[in-house]
């Protein structure tokens, strides 16, 4: 039992004799896991009536022989040519209303009956054939679900979905505020998908009717989930091995929270957009871990060297692969997998990094780093496996708010939901606070602090539950643009921030906006001046205390940040940040909030040094990760054993972390 | 009798009980006018065979009860869903050739017989039902006509329009210079609309055949006018109340001059793109006033606070709403109306500013400013109502030149017609000269000065009439790129500037161009050096005097600006500016032209202080408007009564104008 | 016998009486050549059953009467309206999958049987009628072939082409690495053209399957060539006069090397994108000359003044037209032709420069420069005509590598093939080395130096032939990204740079990339530090000597540039530049390579002074062209007669070259 180590392996692309070379090399890297068959549909089923498992049999057989743990795909990540040719309706119709013909991948219309039938059938046949494979550790359904289809089949399914959601056309019209711009529908048939040919202009974020577009996003996310469920059901009939599909972290098109219940374990593909995204990766890990109530997740894909899909694809610097892999483990990953084990020879990923390059070399820097990490993971063995991540801070993440905020007309298009969430997460991360990233439906009982950046759309009882957090002495921190709209994206017909007003003790009278680069200095406690930008809400306290004030424009001297104590000085606190504070400003607010609960960590003052903890059966594993651009020295916060070196560490010892350095301290009990 | 004050009101979006709250609040703001039913089609006609006026009856009834003046719409600004669904041909086909399905607004094909029939029928029924409504002050047809359709119905109508215009296919081929690139048409049926699938690349401004595209712009503008005329005719059968539709100032797709005769009064929606657009707004006001020979116009829409449609939507700063509203009145507005009186709860305009916000508050800064302005307008009463704006300067504005100049290939795509017009208008505005902005067909008899920036396309007898201005001692000022093409956009086969050559006494031998930012210093009289850019015409005087010369490049020392006196030193003057002078350069030239006629105003040296005059029955009202970023002091140019305060003003008094301040002096006779 | 001088002449656009004016003026400019009928289809064939040669008869007759040399077009550069209307399939379907309707030019689907039949028929009828025309010097087929079509006819033709290329579907699947992303085709019918509806996203350079897109580019280039060949065959049946079509220099969509064998002479249109493109023009001239093994070519089009198609179109500065025209002659042009002799009156080229402007003036700067050049060419007479350009340097240019490199995913999208080629060509040009720009299939026997920038795709025996160059003592210079893929764009399954590894003696272990602007200083021999950017290959010498090293990042101190001497110190050299050196760095490397062969020219140290040589029958003509921004003085490298002035020049004389100055020295034997 150990952390799984390996990745996608597609040996059908090269001759049988190379397989031997592959396994020899992978052994050198302590690789023990292979993901097979992700894009195998076209060789598994060469036409509608023929299934041919010979190639996959050989591949699986060789993997079994090598003693590898096996992740087996249902092979539906891309359509085979014959299917697209014989049934054109399986191809998607895009946002521009154009029916596609065959190409690329992730190309199936989720509403197509033929696709649904054949994909589930394929999944079932694979499951039947390989359910008994030794060391089969997971089923991998589809691949990176995403995108959208706007075809007539989807339109029809959308109408069915709407009818189920709303019951009557009157309720639909109300939800969409359809009387605006003469949109009162008199029949479900009149509804068309919102795209470039109907409600949209400029692109997916510009819609005349936010309510329609919001519902289509929900519908499409659900339609793909249905397709996933079909395949899972086909597997479940013959196998109890866990089923997953690889998610993509903060990925807008799919509401992963809605999908989470259908996964047996969460997994995701970690391709950060740049070299300095440690906080963003940590946030994504925590978001993925939050899908299954904190259970360990898998990194299903990462690249050993370069990613092939960007305009510019630099190599990972020395030590970065190891650092980022351990970061994943620190945040709860029990598998560290690559895309892919050997490079493809042709097509658009032929330069995507792989454990083995086109020449199959094992004497390269990249391979050596993969092998070093492999030996460390092997040496670690079962330690940390299954360990959970303790957290007293919850950060609310909400796809509905994301969708609603970014398609909103009227305030500031430069505000992006993930950027605001990341700003607050980064401050928590730098402060060393363990964070659970959870949906708004999650229980908040166990948390001292709830941070809800840009909680734009309020649904269900979330306002009440946030009030309860404060009522029981906890802290709530939320920001501008929160509490604006209900589940239908209709404005609350009351003071902003709507149902959050009472707990926050403030109302927003005006919302000013500015182009990026325009700054209003906001003075915070202790004299810190934060350069606020983009959004400037003009606040009128309704009981709240003013914590920060604007320094410029006609509202100079008025509140920008407030704190409410609705239950008196001894009760909880509700913070409201009405403007786009800079990182220093967010950091100051966050630390004040954490401080009341003693949640600022021991390494909080070391910039870009990450401290993360996993706990199992009372055993406490502390990860120290140096993301800073040079070595740092830290004073150990606890005594224990550093597991990567086996050395003892005493509390107060000076520990040196090289650039990209990692320490894993098994703390004394 | 007073200036109308109010705006769009769509109470069908909220419950009946809120209406009472609405009227109570609007009364506090002295609001007396409501525009009703602009997007009401879908509730007025729920299907093709049913009309249901119950909601509108109640709305109108309540407005009547409140004593409001009523502007009633024909409700055709957006199609109802059933119409788009049952008759797909009413939906537009866009520039990319894509037939749209249902969505957004302003979405009807103007050539669709079904749309034409049903829209006129609806207008007629509304007119019949509400013609006798008390205080019905105007009919509001459609809404913000614009855009374009490229469907087969439009193609067929275009061919009919062409046949009427040209008579024979030979004349068509000649007009379009069709022999170029093998385009000789042998049958009208071969003509297709110019769009992304035919003559265009990159977008609407890049066409292989300017003549075809120019004609399609004319046709489409006319097609929409025909749709408007249908509705107006249906109204006129039962009502003599004035008919209007809301225009949009300098709006490229529609030739408002061609439409003007069909309006009973001009009205427009004033949404400036930024906070410092006072000269642009003044130009737009004057352009709108020019549609009806100087008669007062209406501001049909403006926002009290933010506009919802921009990427970034800042609030209007304190005092700005009042300043801009008085500016409209100063330029001839007899109505100041808002979009809208109460915010919509959902869809893309839910954050658009309104007199009443979602909470219905009357204790906000925004509401207070609206109310203050309301009380001022109420106190003013009938003064200035109906007053005209005296002007001795005409500025020629020409949609054909706009279209032709911006789709032209071969010189400089960075030159934009409205920017050039605005540069010259701004100089006139800063100099305090009253300006009529008129079509090239307007009589020029009453003007001392005619300014014709970028008069690219010369049609009719305009060259002769400009010559007459100079012949009778007036001044003509025109610029680069003028006199280049005839009505068909074919080059004059003579020296540039074509028929304007004789009066200007100059010929253009070469036209050099440069990227934005490249400057050639032009020396003007008095030693002023203007940083000229974009266009550099190389001029050969043919009788004209050189007034400005280039300072750089191989044409350093050659003429850039000339003045011709074809009738000797005592006759009129014809100025030609062959380059893109900067604001200081344009200002210097304009003031020299104005100076000869004594038209430089008394406040010309106060930057961003506007002086505008309205006159009725010999009564003279002088508006002083401070657009500068701080207070200014001015010496009163005349004695009279300041109407907003009731105070006496004596000529020569020092008057203080606060930032955004306004004075309205009723001058002594 | 002299260099042809003239250009496109389309007098069907203006009245007969103007023709007389035209010829009188053209005579003043010593113009002797007219290109007729390029876009004449619509008047030559007004409908499918009618041919009408009356207009062309008159035009040809008048040209014959004037004694002009005549280039006669087949008139198929644009479809006539009736053809597009009656046979919609002749119109192209674009990359977005949209069938176009009538418009623009170069608008025919090359796979349309109707177009193919009618275009060849027209070419044949024109050839029959005018084959006997006096002084007919060339046939001009089509016009600027280019673009692409994606219609069903092309799809079908593509499948035929693939079947011929690959024979079996298995071989197709292998070539395209189709097993990647489930693309195993089981029937040719399943193949669709790669475009925005199938394999592409973002645009033509982003494809999921490079192999498919590469083959479609090859197919489309060949399909147009077939159309050209049809027309040529129709001509050849009745005429032996040379046939050409006007190419466009470095034009990506068409593989001119594949077409070259079908041309009787090469010709091209020279419209440089900016004013300082002398090296790029030189490269394009040499590329065009290389099409026919060094035989003289024609400049079929250039503009006397401005080009109409750019956003900003500055006039050619004084002297530039003459300088660039002589540059063309210096590089092997035997014809200097304009587009066009008189300006069109309408449509998108009405402002395109012409010998005669709309007023027909002959007293303009532009006309005077045209006339001066005309008189010089006339005075030169037969000298240099037919002379060849000696070169000991070959630069390999390869459309396959261009296509493959720019659609590649995974390294750096900012690297552009022509920019890399131009960087190396510019260094050769500045050093005064005569260069032949040749296909990879060309014999390399005659060259001392072979430069192969970014030879990404290696096909045929090119690796072997490059090895031979080094084996016989020559020098090879190649760069990063070379030797990566085979003819199918599949990676070589060996160390990079693939089959070039042995001769270069180096392997590339990693390829790092950076955004534009990021610099890594590379130290070269002599201490020169070059600012390298975009690509940084990490090199492991396998016998090669390190010549340049990186100065920064984790690979500081490792090799960036290497030189291999596989045959010992006295053999040839193989240079590898693994990074994007700046101009100084490329210059230093190139001069070191040239230096070993004594190929650095006498004027190499005078920046932007060009030296080019033509030789015929042992007579040597040296052109000195001053592209620098001021006058320069040079010491004559040889004695001889300066032909433009007739003056003697002695070796060592100080010669003054004015800005844009030209000297043409007929060297003493």
Q: Does pLDDT of A475 surpass 90?
A: yes
B222, B301, B376, B642: the active-site residue: B301
Look up residue B321 and give its DSSP letter. Answer: H
Is the model's pTM score more than 0.95? Answer: yes
Q: Does pLDDT of C564 surpass 90?
A: yes
Question: Please, are residues C197 and C84 in contact by the beta-carbon 8 Å criterion?
Answer: no
Tokens of A549: 């004030």
Cα gap B345→B330, rounded to integer Å: 34
CB-side neighbour CA atoms (13 Å) of A209: 31
Q: Work out the burial of residue A325: count CB atoms within 10 Å of its CB; fewer than 13 is exposed, 13-18 middle, 19 or more buried.
A: buried
What is the DSSP secondary-structure string of C109-144?
-TT-HHHHHHHHHHHHHHHHHHTT-TTEEEEE-SSS
Q: Least CB-CB distance to B177: which of C100, C311, C344? A: C344
The set of residues, in sequence order, having a beta carbon less than 8 Å from that of B307 and lying 6+ positions away, is: A410, B271, B313, B352, B353
Cα-Cα-Cα-Cα dihedral sign, residues C145, C149, C152, C157: positive
Question: Please, are residues A6 and A34 in contact by the beta-carbon 8 Å criterion?
Answer: yes
Average pLDDT (C405-428) is 97
C231, C301, C610, C642: the active-site residue: C301
What is the DSSP secondary-structure string of C76-102?
-SS--HHHHHH-GGGB-B-TTSPBP-S
The model's confidence at residue B475, banded by pLDDT at 50, 70 and 90, is very high
Q: Does pLDDT of B65 surpass 90?
A: yes
- Which residues in chain A have their CB less than 8 angstroms from residue C177's CB? 13, 344-347, 350
Cα gap A331→A279, rounded to integer Å: 12
Q: Is A348 annotated as a binding residue?
A: no
Measured at the alpha carbon of residue B228, what is the angle toward residues B224 and B229, in degrees to the nearest 5? 115
Which residues are B532's β-sheet partners? B520
Q: Does pLDDT of B515 surpass 90?
A: yes
Please, which residues 194-223 of chain B have a Cβ atom closer than 8 Å to chain C? Answer: 194, 196-201, 207-211
Q: Scanning every residue of chain C, which has its alpha carbon at the shortest distance from the alpha carbon of B539?
A: C364
The model's confidence at residue A54, banded by pLDDT at 50, 70 and 90, is very high
Q: Minimal Cα–Cα distance from B546 to chain C, Å?
A: 20
Q: Is the Cβ of B108 closer than 8 Å to some Cβ of chain A? A: no
pLDDT tens column, B522-557: 999 999 999 999 999 999 999 999 999 999 999 999
Q: Minimal Cα–Cα distance from C259 to chain A, Å?
A: 28
Question: Please, are residues A147 and A106 in contact by the beta-carbon 8 Å criterion?
Answer: yes
Q: Is the Cβ of A518 closer than 8 Å to some Cβ of chain B? A: no
Q: Scanning every residue of chain C, which has its alpha carbon at the shortest distance from the alpha carbon of A307?
A: C410
The answer to whether the CB atoms of C358 and B181 lie below 8 A apart is: no
Q: Which residues of C601-613 are buried (b: 16+ CB within 10 A; e: fewer)?
A: bbbbebebbbbbb
Tokens of C397: 């240019």
The model's confidence at residue C570, banded by pLDDT at 50, 70 and 90, is confident
Look at strands A449-452 and A475-479 and give their pairing.
Answer: parallel
Q: Does pLDDT of A254 surpass 90?
A: yes
Q: Does pLDDT of B236 surpass 90?
A: yes
Q: Which residues of A601-638 are buried (b: 16+ CB within 10 A; e: fewer)?
A: bbbbebebbbbbbbbeeeebbbbbbbbbeeebebebbe
pLDDT tens column, C194-253: 999 999 999 999 999 999 999 999 999 999 999 999 999 999 999 999 999 999 999 999
Question: Please, are residues B6 and B338 in contact by the beta-carbon 8 Å criterion?
Answer: yes
- Nearest Cα neighbor of C250 from C34, C395, C385, C442 is C395
What is the DSSP secondary-structure string of B52-112?
--HHHHHHHHHHHHTT-EEEEE-S-SS--HHHHHH-GGGB-B-TTSPBP-S-SSS-B-TT-
The angle that helices C210-236 and C399-406 make with each other, rounded to 10 degrees, is 150
Give phi and psi for C448, each to the nearest 5: -80, -35
Interface test with A, best of B59, B345, B349 (most A CBs within 10 A): B345
The answer to whether the CB atoms of A102 and C194 lie below 8 A apart is: no
The answer to whether the CB atoms of B351 and A408 lie below 8 A apart is: yes
pLDDT tens column, A80-129: 999 999 999 999 999 999 999 999 999 999 999 999 999 999 999 999 99
The answer to whether the CB atoms of C491 and A343 lie below 8 A apart is: yes
Q: Is B348 annotated as a binding residue?
A: no
The model's confidence at residue B109, banded by pLDDT at 50, 70 and 90, is very high
Q: Is the Cβ of C453 closer than 8 Å to some Cβ of chain A? A: no
Cα gap C488→A345, rounded to integer Å: 10
Query: What 3 state SS string does B45-58 have?
Result: CCECCECCCHHHHH
Cα gap A475→A481, rounded to integer Å: 19
pLDDT tens column, A541-600: 999 999 999 999 999 999 999 999 999 988 999 999 999 999 999 999 999 999 999 999
CA dihedral (C237, C242, C245, C250) in degrees, to 10, reads 140
Interface test with B, best of C146, C313, C348 (most B CBs within 10 A): C348
List of chains touching C (3+ CB pairs within 8 A): A, B
- Nearest Cα neighbor of C145 from C290, C262, C306 is C262
Q: What is the pLDDT, as a whole number, of residue B607?
A: 95
Q: Is C96 a known active-site residue?
A: no
Average pLDDT (B42-57) is 97
Cα gap C18→C360, rounded to integer Å: 9
Q: Is the Cβ of B270 closer than 8 Å to some Cβ of chain A? A: no
Q: Is A105 annotated as a binding residue?
A: yes
Q: What is the pLDDT, as a whole number, of residue B569?
A: 87
Residue numbering of the annotated binding site of C? 105, 109, 143, 149, 151, 154
Q: Is A301 a known active-site residue?
A: yes
Cα gap A379→C467, rounded to integer Å: 49
Structural domains present in chain A: 4-147+217-380 (3.20.20.80), 152-215 (no CATH), 393-595 (3.40.50.880), 609-667 (2.60.40.1180)
CA dihedral (B66, B70, B74, B78) in degrees, to 10, reads -70
Q: Minimal Cα–Cα distance from B166 to chain C, Å?
A: 17
The answer to whether the CB atoms of C208 and A98 lie below 8 A apart is: no
Cα gap C184→A83, rounded to integer Å: 11
Question: Please, are residues C540 and C507 in contact by the beta-carbon 8 Å criterion?
Answer: yes
Q: Minimal Cα–Cα distance from B477 to chain A, Å?
A: 38
Q: Work out the burial of residue B315: count CB atoms within 10 Å of its CB; fewer than 13 is exposed, 13-18 middle, 19 or more buried.
A: buried
pLDDT tens column, A354-391: 999 999 999 999 999 999 999 999 999 999 999 999 99
Count of residues in chain A: 669
Cα gap C209→B400, rounded to integer Å: 48
pLDDT tens column, B168-204: 999 999 999 999 999 999 999 999 999 999 999 999 9
The answer to whether the CB atoms of A192 and B101 lie below 8 A apart is: yes
Which residues are A299's β-sheet partners? A268, A336
Cα gap B439→B290, rounded to integer Å: 8
CB-side neighbour CA atoms (13 Å) of C443: 5
pLDDT tens column, C136-146: 999 999 999 99
Cα gap A610→A273, rounded to integer Å: 20
Whose tokens are 């539906």? That residue is A76
Question: Please, are residues C113 and C119 in contact by the beta-carbon 8 Å criterion?
Answer: no
pLDDT tens column, C61-104: 999 999 999 999 999 999 999 999 999 999 999 999 999 999 99
| Chain pair B-C, CB pairs under 8 angstroms | 174
A199, A222, A301, A467: the active-site residue: A301
Q: Least CB-CB distance to A346: which of C96, C411, C489? A: C489
Q: Is the Cβ of A192 closer than 8 Å to some Cβ of chain B? A: yes
Q: Is the Cβ of C659 closer than 8 Å to some Cβ of chain B? A: no
Tokens of C620: 């040597």
């Amino acid at each position: 039992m150990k952390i799984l180590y390996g990745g996608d392996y597609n040996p059908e692309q090269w001759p049988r004799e190379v397989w031997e070379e592959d396994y020899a090399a992978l052994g050198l890297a302590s690789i023990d896991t292979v993901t097979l068959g992700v894009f195998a549909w076209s060789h598994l089923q060469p036409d509608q009536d023929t299934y041919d498992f010979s190639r996959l049999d050989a591949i699986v057989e060789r993997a079994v022989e090598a003693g590898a743990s096996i992740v087996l795909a249902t092979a539906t990540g891309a359509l085979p040519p014959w299917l697209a040719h014989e049934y054109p309706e399986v191809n998607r119709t895009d946002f521009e209303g154009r029916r596609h013909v065959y190409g690329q991948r992730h190309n199936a219309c989720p509403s197509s009956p033929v696709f649904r039938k054949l994909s589930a059938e394929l999944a079932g046949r694979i499951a039947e054939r390989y359910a008994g494979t030794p060391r089969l550790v997971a089923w991998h359904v589809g691949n990176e679900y995403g995108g959208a289809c706007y075809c007539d089949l989807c339109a029809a399914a959308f109408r069915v979905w709407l009818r189920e959601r709303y019951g009557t056309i009157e309720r639909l019209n109300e939800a969409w505020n359809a009387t605006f711009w003469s949109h009162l529908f008199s029949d479900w048939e009149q509804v068309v998908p919102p795209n470039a040919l109907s409600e949209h202009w400029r692109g997916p974020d510009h819609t005349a009717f936010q309510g329609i577009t919001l519902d289509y996003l929900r519908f499409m996310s659900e339609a793909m989930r249905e397709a996933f469920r079909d395949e899972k059901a086909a597997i479940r009939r013959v196998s109890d091995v866990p089923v997953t599909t690889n998610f993509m972290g903060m990925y807008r098109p799919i509401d992963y929270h809605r999908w989470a219940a259908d996964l047996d374990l969460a997994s995701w593909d970690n391709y950060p957009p740049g070299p300095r995204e440690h906080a963003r990766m940590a946030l994504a890990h925590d978001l993925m871990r939050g899908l299954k109530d904190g259970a360990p997740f898998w990194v299903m894909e990462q690249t050993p060297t370069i990613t092939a899909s960007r305009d510019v694809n630099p190599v990972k610097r020395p030590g970065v692969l190891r650092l980022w892999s351990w970061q994943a483990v620190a945040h709860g990953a029990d598998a560290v997998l690559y895309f892919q084990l050997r490079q493809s020879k042709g097509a658009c990923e032929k330069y995507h990094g792989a454990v083995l390059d086109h020449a199959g070399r094992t004497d390269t820097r990249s391979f050596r780093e993969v092998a070093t990490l492999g030996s460390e993971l092997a040496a670690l063995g079962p330690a940390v496996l299954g360990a959970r991540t303790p957290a007293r801070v919850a950060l609310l993440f909400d796809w509905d708010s994301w969708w609603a905020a970014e398609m909103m007309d009227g305030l500031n298009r430069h505000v992006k939901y993930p950027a605001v969430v990341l700003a607050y997460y980064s401050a928590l991360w730098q402060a060393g606070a363990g964070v659970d990233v959870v949906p708004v439906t999650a229980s908040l009982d166990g948390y001292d602090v709830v941070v809800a950046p840009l909680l734009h759309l309020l649904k269900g009882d979330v306002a009440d539950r946030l009030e309860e957090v404060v009522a029981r002495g906890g802290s709530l921190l939320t920001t501008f643009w929160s509490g604006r709209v209900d589940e239908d994206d209709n404005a609350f017909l009351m003071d902003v921030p709507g149902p959050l007003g009472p707990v926050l003790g403030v109302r927003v009278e005006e919302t000013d906006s500015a182009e990026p680069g325009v700054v209003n200095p906001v003075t915070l406690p202790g004299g810190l001046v934060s350069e606020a930008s983009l959004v400037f809400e003009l606040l009128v306290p309704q009981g709240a205390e003013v914590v920060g004030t604007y320094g410029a424009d006609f509202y100079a001297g008025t509140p920008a940040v407030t704190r409410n104590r609705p239950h008196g000085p001894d009760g909880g606190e509700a913070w409201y940040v009405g403007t786009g504070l800079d990182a220093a400003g967010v950091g100051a607010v966050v630390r004040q909030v954490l401080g009341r609960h003693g949640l600022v960590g021991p390494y909080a003052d070391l910039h870009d040094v990450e401290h993360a903890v996993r706990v199992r059966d009372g055993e406490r594993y502390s990860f120290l990760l140096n993301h800073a651009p040079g070595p740092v020295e830290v004073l150990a916060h606890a005594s224990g054993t550093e597991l990567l070196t086996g050395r003892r560490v005493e509390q107060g010892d000076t520990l040196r972390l090289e650039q990209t350095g990692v320490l894993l301290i098994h703390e004394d009990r």
